[in-house]
Structure 1
Amino acid sequence: MTTAPGRGVRLGIDVGTSVVKAVLFDSGGGALAVAGRPLELTHGGAGAVEQDLEQVLSRLGEVVHGVVEEAGVAPELVALTGQGDGCWLTDAEHRMVRPAMSWLDGRAAGLLGEWTDAGIAERIYRVNGSALFPGAPAPLLGWLDRNEPEVLDRAVTAGYCKDAVFGRLTGVRATDPSDSSMPFGDGTGTGYSDEVLALTGLTHRRELLAPIVSPTPLEALTGAGADLLGLPAGLPVSSGPFDFPACGFGGGLAGVGDALLIVGTTLGCLVHSDELRTSGEPAGFNVSTGVPGRWLRAMPAMVGTASLDWLLRTLGVGVEAVGEALSTSPPGARGVQVLPYLATAGERAPFVDPNASGQVTGVRMTTDRHDLVRAMCEGLAYAARHCFEVAGRSGRLVVCGGGTRSRAWMQVFADILGVPLELARTPEVGARGAVLVAARAQGADLDAAAWTAPDDIIEPIDDHRHRYDDGYRDYLAHLGAARPLWTGPAAEDPPNDPATGAAQ
C-alpha cells in the first residue's frame, strides 16, 4: 500500500560520487528520516573512472523506500541534486548508452593540454568564467567525439548525474541553470555559447545538450518512476541545482560576499556574487543561481578530507588521531607545514595545474605524527583561505560537509580564515538547498531563514590569528617556490583510491 503524502513534507535527494542520500523534511526544515547507500566507481586504465546509472537508480530507490517507511509518511515534492561535471550519456528512453564518465575521469587530460596550449581553455574562461579540468563535460565530450564517435551518434543527451536520474523519473530531458552555465554557458546563466562549442570543435554535437529550464526543471513522476521510488505517480520532481550551489542555498547564502565552505572529499569554496567574473588567472567556475544577476563564484579545490585520509592511512592511525593531534601539537605544528595537493588529477582551484603535488617542510628529528596531522589540517585551511581570497569573500562564512564533525578542526579553519564559522543546519545541506529551490519554483512560501539557521557558530581565537597570518604568508611562499618544480606523473603511478581518486 502506498503511503499517503504528508502536508508540507518534502523529499531531498543528493546523488553524490560515493553515496546517494535521501532526507524527508517537515514543513519547518526538520529531518523526519535520513538514509544513505554507497555507490561504486569503476577504475580502469588511462585514468578511466566510470559509474553505472542503473546502480545509482537502484540504490536511490532503496534509500527513498527506507526514509518513507521510517517516517510513515510520503512527500508532496521530490527535489534532486547531485555531483557536478562528468558526462552521463543517455538515449531517448533515458537509459545509459555507455557507463557515465565521472568528474574524476582523467582520460581527457591530453586533449585539455592541447586546448590549454592553443589558448582555447583561457578563451572559454573569458566567455563564462569556467576553468576546465579533465573531468569537466567539455573535454570529456571532446574525448568521446575523438575516441567513441559512434557512441555519441547513438546518444540523445550528454548531461549530468541529477539530470540522468530526473529523465528516468519523469521522462523529461532537461537541465538547470547551474550545470548548464559551465563549461558550455554563454555568460547569461540561461544559454549555451556558440563560441565555446566552436572553440572545442563540438558544434556538431550541440543537440546533445539538454534544454535549460530556470530556476529548475519541475515535472511529474511517471508510473515507472513511481514504481522505482514507491511513491505516487504525478508527484512533482525537480532537478537541481547541482551539489555545490545546492549547498549554497541550503547554507543560507543570501548577501553578496557571503560564502560557503564545504569540507568534504574536496574543498568547496563558494562566494555569492552579483556579477560574472572572468578576469584573472583562469581557475574555478562561475555558477548561475537561476536568479538574474546572481552568481556563485566557486573554487572547488581538489584537496580536502581525502588528503587528510591519505596521511592518516600512511601513518597507520584512525580518524580519532585528528582530535588527539590538534590537542597535542600547538598552532603552527612546531614549524611543520604542508602543501596538501595530493590528488592524482592535480589542482583546479584557486589555480589549475594537473601536475600539482604535495610537499611537507620543516620536518626535524623532534617532529612527531601529531605535528604532521596538525600541519595537514592547517594546510587545508590555508588552501581554503587562498580560494576565498581569489573568489572575493567579504561577508559571513557558512561551513558544511563531513569535516565539520571535528570541532577542533573547525576551530583551526576559524582561526586561519579569521572569521566566525557558522555551522550549516544539518542534516544534508545540499538536499535541503534543492528542496528550497524546488519549493520556490512551485511558488511555495517557505521560511528560508528558519530552514537555514546555523546549528552553531565557532569564533576565531584572537591569540592564534597573528601566528596563522604569518603561517599563511609562508604557505604562499612555499606554494610559489613549488609550482615551477611540478612535473608530470611518474612512469608508474600508484593505483587510485576507489572512493576518492586520490593516490593510495
Structure 2
Amino acid sequence: MYVGVDVGTSVTKAVAFGPDGAQVDSESVQTKLIHPAPGQTEQDVDEVLRSVTTVLDAVVSRVGQPEFVAITGQGDGLWLSDVDGRPSRAAVSWMDGRAAGTVREWTASGVEEALFRVNGNIQFPGSPAAILSYLDRHEPSALDRSATAGYCKDIVLQHLTGLRATDASDTTMPFGDLRGGYSARALELTGLGHRANLLAPIHARQPVGELRLAGTALARGTPIVSGPYDLPACAHGSGVVSPGDGMVIIGTTLACQVITDSPDTSGRPSGLTLATGVPGSWLRAMPAMVGTASLDWVLRMIGQTTSAVPALLAESRPGADGVAVLPYFSPSGERAPFVDPSARGQFTGLTLRTSRADLVRAVCEGIAYAARHCLEAAGLTGSLAVAGGGARSPEWLQVFADVLDRPLRLPRCSEVGARGVVVNAFGALGLEHDAESWTGSEQIIEPGQDVARYREGYERYLAHLAAARPLWT
C-alpha cells in the first residue's frame, strides 16, 4: 500500500492506493487562507503541517502502514523556515498580490524578459522570486531570521524527516537553469544574489528521507518522497507523459499544461517551463488565474451553489443569449497565457432579458475559452486529459469539449495529484509499476454539436480581450 499526500491551497488530502493503483482510502482536512491586508493572502504554516499529520494518522490507522509516503503540494508562493525547519513567518500564498509593483518594475525594465530567456518562465505577483524581492525590500528581518525560502512540499518534508531539500519542479521557475540547478544569472537579474543561501539543495530526482517526527501513527523510518509539486504530479497521475500530450486542471486556477522534450525560451515570454521529475521532460504550463474561483464568485452573486450548475447550464443555451465574459476576476490579475497584474473581469452583452442562467453559462464558456487560449500557447498537439473539481460536472465538461474541439480523457481517479506523486516516487525509488492500471482513462468526452458556434465564440473572446486590455491600466 502507498500513500500520496496533496497539500492544496485550502484542503490537505491523504490518499491510499493498493498495488494495482486502486484507491483504497482517503482523508481530507480543510485549511484556512488569511488576508492580513487588501490584496494579501497568507497561510498559517503550523496549521498546514498539522493538517498533514492529521490526514496521515487517519489513513494509517484505518489501512495500516504504507511502503512509502509521497508528498506533493501547491506551487509558488514563499514558505520561510528557520534552521530547525520551523516556520519563521506565515507563508505567502501564490494567490498573494503584494508584489504586483515588483512585477511591473521587472516588466518595464526588461528583467522579466531576460529571466524568461534563462529558464522559460514568466514572473507574476505570487511567484517566489517576486515575493522574495518584495520581502527583501519591505520585511528584510523575516529573511534574516530564516534559513530556507522554500515551497509548501519542502517545508512538509523537513517537518517530517529533518531533510532540507527540494526538487527541480518548483525551483525551475524562479531561479532554475533548466539543467537541474540554480542560475546565477537569474539571481543577479532579480537582485537576490545575497539571498542565495536561502535556497535549498536540489535533488536530481526527488528528495527521499525517513520519518523522524514523533507522535504520529506512521512508523518511524517510513520513506518519505517529496515532489514534484502539484502541476507535474497531476500530469503523472493522468498519464500525460508523451511530448504534445496535455491536460487541463479545472481547479481554483485553470492549469493548462503540455509535455515537451525541448524547452523553448525564445519568442514572446509567456507561461512556465517546469521540470517534471523525469530527465529530458518538461511541462509547458499555462496556469491561468481564471478557474473555479471565478464560477464560485458569480454563483455567490446570484445566491446559488455549485449544485445548481447543471440546471443553470440546461436553462441557458450555448452562447448565453449574447452574454460574454472575460473571467479575470483574481485581484492579482492574470499570469497565463499573458502576465498583467491589472487584468480585470468583464461582462458584455447584458440586457434586461439576461437571466441568472445566462450569467453562469457565460462564465463557464469564458473559462473554457481561456483554456483554449492557454493550450494553444502551450503547443497542444496530442491527447488531452482533464481533472480538478470542475471536471465533476458533465455539463461543464461538454462545454470544454466543444470549445476545445477535441476529446477529453478522464483519469480513473479524481485524486490525480496524490496518485501522480506516488507514480513519480516509484521512479525515484527504482520500483516497477503497471502504468496502465495506475494512470489509464475512465471515460472519454467527445465534442458535440456546438463546436462551430464555439469556434466563432472563441474568435469573439480574443477580440474582446484585445479591446479590453488597454482599459485595465
**TM-score using structure 1 length:** 0.92
- Give the length in aligned residue pairs: 473
**1:48 Cα offset (Å):** 2.5
**1:135 pairs with one of 126, 132, 138:** 126
1:38-437 to 2 correspondences below 5 Å: 38-71=30-63, 73-188=64-179, 190-222=180-212, 225-227=213-215, 229-437=216-424
Q: Residues 17 and 24 of structure 2 are in contact (CA less than 8 Å); yes or no, is this contact kept in structure 1?
A: yes
* 3-state SS in 2 of match to 1:48: coil
The 3 A distance-change label for structure 1 pair 129 and 380 is same
Structure 1 residue 187 displacement after superposition: 2.5
Equivalent residue letter for 1:212: I
1:468 is aligned to: 454
1:68 is paired with a residue whose SS is: helix
Which residue in the other structure is 1:499 paired with? Answer: none
SS of residue in 1 equivalent to 2:308: helix
Q: Could you tell me how far 1:294 is from its partner in structure 2? A: 1.1
- For 2:324, the aligned partner's letter is Q
CA distance in 1, matches of 2:354, 2:126: 38
The alpha carbon displacement at 1:292 in A equals: 2.7
Contact 1:215 1:437 (8 Å CA) reproduced: no
Which residue matches 1:19?
Answer: 11
Aligned to 1:35: 27
Provide the rounded CA distance (Å) in 2 between the counterparts of 1:297 and 1:259: 9
Question: How far apart in 1 are the matches of 2:255 and 2:214?
Answer: 34
Distance 1:393 1:464 in 2: 21
Percent of aligned pairs sharing the same letter: 55
Cα distance in 2 between the residues matched to 1:238 and 1:295 = 20
Equivalent position SS for 2:173: coil
Task: Output the amino acid matched with 1:286.
Answer: T
SS at match of 2:58: helix
By how many angstroms is 1:288 displaced? 0.7
Shift of 1:159: 0.2
- Tell me how far 1:46 sits from its aligned partner: 4.9
Q: Distance in 1 between matches of 2:319 and 2:62?
A: 46
- Cα-to-partner distance string for 1:300-326 (whole Å, 9 max, x where unaligned): 000011101111111112223211122
1:165 is paired with a residue whose SS is helix
- Give 1:100 deviation, angstroms: 1.2
Unaligned residue ranges in structure 1 (runs of 5+): 1-8, 488-504
Structure 1 residue identity aligned to 2:314: S
Normalization by structure 2: what TM-score? 0.98
Take 2:214 and 2:400, find their aligned partners in 1: how far apart are those partners? 43
Q: What amino acid sits opposite 1:474 in the alignment?
A: R
SS across alignment from 2:175 = coil
Q: Deviation of residue 38 (structure 1)?
A: 0.5
Q: Give yes or no for contact 1:84–1:161 (8 Å, CA) kept in 2.
A: yes
TM-fit CA distance, 1:116: 1.5
Moved more, 51-60 or 244-253: 51-60
Distance change >3 Å, CA 46–CA 309, structure 1 → 2: closer
Check whether the contact 2:39–2:332 (CA below 8 A) recurs between aligned residues: no
1:32 is displaced (CA, Å) by: 1.1
**1:298 match: secondary structure:** strand
SS of 1:230's partner is: coil
- Secondary structure at the counterpart of residue 172 of structure 1: coil
Counterpart code for 1:217: P
Deviations 1:217-237 (A, max 9, x none): 111111xx252x311111110
Is contact 1:281-1:351 (8 Å) kept? no
Secondary structure at 1:45 match in 2:
coil
Cα distance in 2 for partners of 1:142, 1:200 equals 7
Report the secondary structure of 1:47's partner residue. Answer: coil
Segments of 4+ moved more than 6 angstroms: none
Q: What is the CA–CA distance in structure 2 between the aligned matches of 1:70 and 1:56, rounded to whole Å?
A: 22
1:81 alignment partner, SS class: strand
Unpaired runs of 5+ residues, structure 2, are: none
Would the aligned equivalents of 2:39 and 2:331 in 1 still touch at CA under 8 Å? no
AA in 2 matched with 1:51: Q
CA distance in 2, matches of 1:372, 1:324: 13
